[in-house]
Chains A and B, each alone.
Chain A
Amino acid sequence: MASEPVRANMPPLSLHVPEPKFRPGDPVDFADVDVPPAGSARRPDTAEPAGRFTELAYTLVRVLDEEGGAVGPWDPKLSPDRLREMLRAMALTRAFDERMFRAQRQGKTSFYMKSTGEEAVSVAAAFAMDRDDMCFPSYRQQGILISRGYPLVEMMNQIYSNSGDKLGGKQLPIMYSAKDHGFFSISGNLATQYPQAVGWAMASAVKGDSRIAATWCGEGSTAEGDFHSACTFASVYRAPVVMNVVNNQWAISSFSGFAGAEATTFAARAVGYGIAGLRVDGNDALAVYAATQWAAERARTNQGPTLIEHFTYRAEGHSTSDDPSAYRSAGEPNAWPLGDPIRRLRDHLIALGEWDEERHERQDKELAAHVRDCQKEAEKNGILGHGLHQPLDSLFDGVFEDMPWHLREQRQMMLDEEEASGRPWARK
């Protein structure tokens, strides 16, 4: 029996609990965020074996420099028209977010989540993929839907849970589903879409199809077991999938250190799985476009999956139910060293002589008016809380393909109760 402590001369163990650099009221200095120069990352062949990506998982693929130039091997060399389309989709996403955030504050709906500062991550990725590639998004990639021309009115109908809502008022606002736009049904459960995207990609490969899948999650969600399972499956079967980690530094109030960012990058996770890993300036639309296009080509040529970390910053609160001033310094969004993705793409177009500030302002006004018109259109179908917009008994539709007896019985029970209560909307 050991009775004497055998390590009496050692200091006691201590638990490391990560702490973000800045809390409310703190001055912000992001000088220690390593930002490699634009154009400095090498661009490998899309068939390069996964074992050679370690250095790309620790740097940043960047195209747009500080003067608005596009430099280096990752410059996708897009036409000015394409750049303007992308800029417009990003600006429209922001305008949409602004309007819907306000709609929630006005009590027209229960909930909303903006993607401010992360528009490049979804929009540029959508532009780099084919229209029939299937996206498995999280709740912060509304830019994909907007890029693919999904009607804003339909998005708003869903947000309002009104009579035009294709999901019949069954889903929380922003949990869109748009199969014909290659946009998989959003779930509230984080990271579940990751293995599903891998499965969709595997199915495409099983059938000898040419379509690929892409998926997105936040850096916080990489801690979920689904992320690990998805990476393992994707690697084992060389699934044609692009796996995006949107590292916006924050998972609600938890800084990225709680997902493991103090010790490594999220792109570096790819190294251990034997997946190609790229770390990209997420506020550089051209870098996001180029990396996505590269990964899509790799997937489409049977070279397997790619994990892309998009290094960005969540400029606003997590959701309409969140107040970021309670846990981070108000100075962070403006001090973020990678700037604003819309402004950077705008400056690039201006530097090319293909755009100017006056046109930009005019476009912003035009987009705001467009969103407002769509909102008016959507509100004709009702807003949340103003009466019931769906037939009461539709509550039971779609649990199963055919309604079993117990649901038919419960439906009748509900209708009888409503009839007895004398409420008019019981009678559809």
Chain B
Amino acid sequence: MNMIQAINSALDVVMDRDPDVIVMGEDVGYFGGVFRATAGLQTKYGKTRVFDTPITEIGIVGVAIGMGAYGLRPVPEIQFADYIYPALDQLVSEAARLRYRSAGEFTSPITVRSPYGGGIFGGQTHSQSPEGIFTHVSGIKTVIPSTPYDAKGLLIAAIEDNDPVLFLEPKRIYNGPFDGHWDRPAKNWSAHGGGEVPTGYYRVELGKAQVVRAGEALTILCYGTMVHVVSGVVAEAGVDAEIIDLRTLVPLDIETIEASVKKTGRCMIVHEATRTSGFGAELSALVQERCFYHLEAPVERVTGFDTPYPHSLEWAYFPGPVRIGEALKKIMKD
């Protein structure tokens, strides 16, 4: 399966198991979603379980919270993560705090799915990576898969989780893994192990990172599309890097990170999101606090620049093989 099919399969599997799961969002119903993630679901489960919504992100998330308070398990979709901001108040002030402020009387078991990330000439409002905004909010979990297998297993786990989850889908790798070489032919998932997806039910637990490549020379922390970009760079450079796909940003798998950096003595963090106050800053601080005496070089961050996401200058903005390669040389020199 590709990642779209895996997400579709996850929704199908949980909807079949749990009649309280509801899918809603702009264009998700009859049409099956602008990325086809919900294709066929309305036909199979009916209009009251899979439905199109008005174009109002406040409403989509606010209504989902109310449905969750009733006892349903809504999976609202925000068409692009760039358009999640109108719903920010509902997510930050309501979904994330409902359990805390009501001492558990009301909860918000919602999973907000949203395509995110760049590398598709999406320009300013179809490319953003807003995860750092949400990792800063207490009470919400943030999950980002990097393979179809993980996408399905993590999404099932997210929907079954009783806390609100923001599920960000790296749309650049919906159809195939992307190593950052935009000038080479695109690959599809059939040649990648992560494209092998069971048709039935399984979970990939939240809060657990995955060591994508074991190594001794340095630790690279990444997630989403960047897992594949980093893997490509490491293979080409012939560096014995340990690549960790975080998969869940909150709650973070700190044990895997800590063990790895203590072993390698070096840590590089790679994300597409802008640099200042990005999630990389939190990762860097945690590594510095917990692995200080094991570090042989400063923690290195390779990120998007502190600019809005540009259109024509996409590959100058995107933290691709060149930027990561230079950072690799720098961190290994010390």
Contacts and interface: CB of A to CB of B under 8 A. Distances in A.
Interface stretch (A164-172, A242-250, A374-382): A164-172
Interface in B97-118: 97-107
Given A179-B106, A236-B54, A400-B139, A189 B99 contact: no
Nearest to B108: A196
Interface string A195-214: 11111111111110000010
B22 A225 contact: no
Given A229-B56, A229-B58, A192 B49 contact: no
A202 B62 contact: no
Contacts of B67: 199-200, 202-203, 206
What's the interface size class on B, roughly? 35 or more
B90 interface: yes
Contacts of B72: 203, 206-207
A230 interface: yes
Contacts of B93: 187-189, 192
A3 to B, nearest CB: 35
A186 to B, nearest CB: 8
Contact of A233 (B54, B86, B90): B54
A199 B62 contact: yes
Given A187-B94, A196-B66, A230 B49 contact: no
A294 interface: no
Interface stretch (A19-27, A84-92, A284-292, A401-409): A401-409
Nearest to A183: B105
A341 B65 CA distance: 35
B282 to A, nearest CB: 10
B64 interface: yes
Interface in A384-428: 398-401, 404-406
A185 B62 contact: no
Contacts of B101: 167, 170-171, 175, 177, 185, 187
A206 B37 CA distance: 22
Contacts of B281: none
A364 to B, nearest CB: 33
Given A198-B63, A401-B162, A167 B58 contact: no
Contact of A399 (B86, B100, B105): B100
Given A175-B101, A228-B56, A405-B254, A199 B48 contact: no
Contacts of B49: 206
Contact of B66 (A175, A177, A199, A232): A199
Task: Among B58, B67, B139, find the residue whose CB has the most chain A CB atoms closer than 10 A.
Answer: B58
A194 interface: yes
Interface in A219-248: 225-226, 228-230, 232-233, 236
Chain B interface, >50% SS class: mixed
B166 to A, nearest CB: 14
A207 B67 CA distance: 11
A228 B251 CA distance: 34
Nearest to A175: B101
B251 A404 contact: yes
A401 B163 contact: yes
Contacts of B138: 399
B86 A225 contact: yes
Nearest to B207: A404
Given A198-B66, A199-B67, A400-B99, A189 B251 contact: no
A185 B53 CA distance: 25
B273 to A, nearest CB: 20
Contacts of A195: 58-59, 61-63, 65-66, 90
Given A199-B65, A202-B66, A404-B207, A177 B139 contact: no
Interface in B75-109: 86, 89-90, 93-94, 97-107
- Chain A CB within 10 Å, residue with most, of B65, B86, B97, B101: B101
B35 interface: no
B323 to A, nearest CB: 30
Interface of A: 134, 136, 166-168, 170-171, 175, 177-179, 184-185, 187-189, 192, 194-207, 213, 225-226, 228-230, 232-233, 236, 398-401, 404-406
21 contacts: A167-B103, A170-B100, A177-B103, A178-B105, A179-B106, A184-B69, A187-B93, A195-B59, A195-B66, A195-B90, A197-B66, A198-B59, A202-B66, A226-B58, A226-B89, A229-B54, A232-B59, A400-B99, A401-B163, A406-B252, A406-B254
Interface of B: 22, 48-49, 53-54, 56, 58-59, 61-72, 74, 86, 89-90, 93-94, 97-107, 138-139, 141, 161-163, 207, 250-252, 254
Pairs A-B, 3 closest by C-beta atoms:
A199-B66, A195-B62, A229-B59
